Amino acid sequence: MADTLKENRVRPQPASRPFGGYEVVRSTNIDEELTLTDKGTPCGEYLRRFWQPLALSSQVSDLPFATRLLGEDLVVFRTRVGQLGVLHKQCSHRGASLEFGLISDEGIRCGYHGWHFATDGRILDVPAETKPGSYARRICHGAYPVLEYKGIIFAYLGPPDEKPEFPIYDFMDAVDEDCVPYCWPLDCNWLQVRENTQDPIHLTFLHSMFGIKQFGANLANAIPYIRAHETPIGQVTTSVRRLGDIYYIRINEMIMPNVARVPDALREGRAIPNNEADAVGTGSEIRALKYKRLVPSSHGMGLSMWVVPNDNENSMFFGWHHVPKDEPQAVRDERIRQVEHGQTRDRPYHERQRNPGDYDVIASQGRIVARDNDKLTSADLGVGVYRHQLREGIRTVAQNGKPKGLDVARQAPIPTYAYALVRSAPPLGSDAEEAERVARLEKEIVADLLAFHLPHTPRTLEPV
Binding residues (CB under 6 A) for ligand FES: these are 91, 93-96, 110, 112-115
Q: Minimal CA–CA distance to 265: which of 213, 229, 316?
A: 213
Q: C-alpha distances in angstroms, 121 versus 85, 128, 165?
A: 9, 20, 21
Q: How far apart are CA 390 and CA 392, in angstroms?
A: 5
Give the nearer residue to ligand FES in terms of CB position, either 5 or 128. 128
3-state secondary structure of 46: helix
358: partner contacted, choices Fe ion, ligand FES, none (Cβ within 5-8 A by kind): Fe ion
Give the nearer residue to ligand FES in terms of CB position, either 42 or 101. 101
Q: How far apart are CA 117 and CA 75, in angstroms?
A: 12
Give the nearer residue to ligand FES in terms of CB position, either 90 or 355. 90
210: partner contacted, choices ligand FES, Fe ion, none (Cβ within 5-8 A by kind): none
96: partner contacted, choices ligand FES, Fe ion, none (Cβ within 5-8 A by kind): ligand FES
In this structure, are residues 362 and 186 in contact, taking their beta carbons and an 8 Å threshold?
yes
In this structure, are residues 308 and 191 in contact, taking their beta carbons and an 8 Å threshold?
no
From the CB of 196, what's the least distance to Fe ion, in Å?
6
In this structure, are residues 291 and 423 in contact, taking their beta carbons and an 8 Å threshold?
yes
Phi and psi at residue 103, to the nearest 5°: -75, 140
Query: Environment class of residue 341 by beta-carbon count within 10 Å: exposed (0-12), middle (13-18) or buried (19+)?
Result: middle
DSSP conformation class of 116? E
385: partner contacted, choices ligand FES, Fe ion, none (Cβ within 5-8 A by kind): none
Q: Minimal CA–CA distance to 359: which of 339, 377, 374?
A: 339
From the CB of 32, what's the least distance to Fe ion, in Å?
27
* Long-range contacts (CB closer than 8 Å, 24 or more residues apart) made by 351-354: 354/210, 354/211
From the CB of 138, what's the least distance to ligand FES, in Å?
17
277: partner contacted, choices Fe ion, ligand FES, none (Cβ within 5-8 A by kind): none
Give the nearer residue to ligand FES in terms of CB position, either 101 or 403. 101
Please report which residue ranges of 22-150 form alpha helices under DSSP H.
Answer: 32-35, 42-47, 135-138
91: partner contacted, choices Fe ion, ligand FES, none (Cβ within 5-8 A by kind): ligand FES
Element (H, E) at 434: helix 431-453
Q: Minimal CA–CA distance to 319: which of 428, 431, 180?
A: 180
Q: What mask of x and - would describe binding to Fe ion in positions 305 to 344, judged by CB under 5 A?
A: ----------------------------------------
Q: How far apart are CA 61 and CA 57, in angstroms?
A: 8
From the CB of 372, what's the least distance to Fe ion, in Å?
24
Give the nearer residue to ligand FES in terms of CB position, either 102 or 209. 102
Q: Is 219 left (phi over 0), alpha (psi -120 to 50) or beta?
A: alpha
From the CB of 343, what's the least distance to Fe ion, in Å?
9
93: partner contacted, choices Fe ion, ligand FES, none (Cβ within 5-8 A by kind): ligand FES
In this structure, are residues 243 and 222 in contact, taking their beta carbons and an 8 Å threshold?
yes
Q: Minimal CA–CA distance to 78: which of 90, 91, 61, 100?
A: 61
From the CB of 16, what's the least distance to Fe ion, in Å?
33
Element (H, E) at 437: helix 431-453
From the CB of 90, what's the least distance to ligand FES, in Å?
8
20: partner contacted, choices Fe ion, ligand FES, none (Cβ within 5-8 A by kind): none
Asked whether position 99 contacts Fe ion by CB under 5 A, the answer is no
Kindly indicate which of the ranges 131-139, 232-240, 298-306, 355-363 contains the residues binding Fe ion, using the contact rule CB under 5 A.
Answer: 355-363
3-state secondary structure of 204: helix
From the CB of 248, what's the least distance to ligand FES, in Å?
57
Kindly indicate which of the ranges 119-127, 262-270, 352-360, 423-431 contains the residues binding Fe ion, using the contact rule CB under 5 A.
Answer: 352-360
Kindly indicate which of the ranges 37-45, 126-134, 350-358, 367-375 contains the residues binding Fe ion, using the contact rule CB under 5 A.
Answer: 350-358
368: partner contacted, choices ligand FES, Fe ion, none (Cβ within 5-8 A by kind): none
From the CB of 96, what's the least distance to ligand FES, in Å?
4
Give the nearer residue to ligand FES in terms of CB position, either 20 or 95. 95
# residues near Fe ion by CB under 5 A: 1
Residue selected from 253, 358, 360, 380 as contacting Fe ion according to rule CB under 5 A? 358
From the CB of 143, what's the least distance to ligand FES, in Å?
15
Please give the residue ranges that form the binding site for Fe ion (CB under 5 A): 358
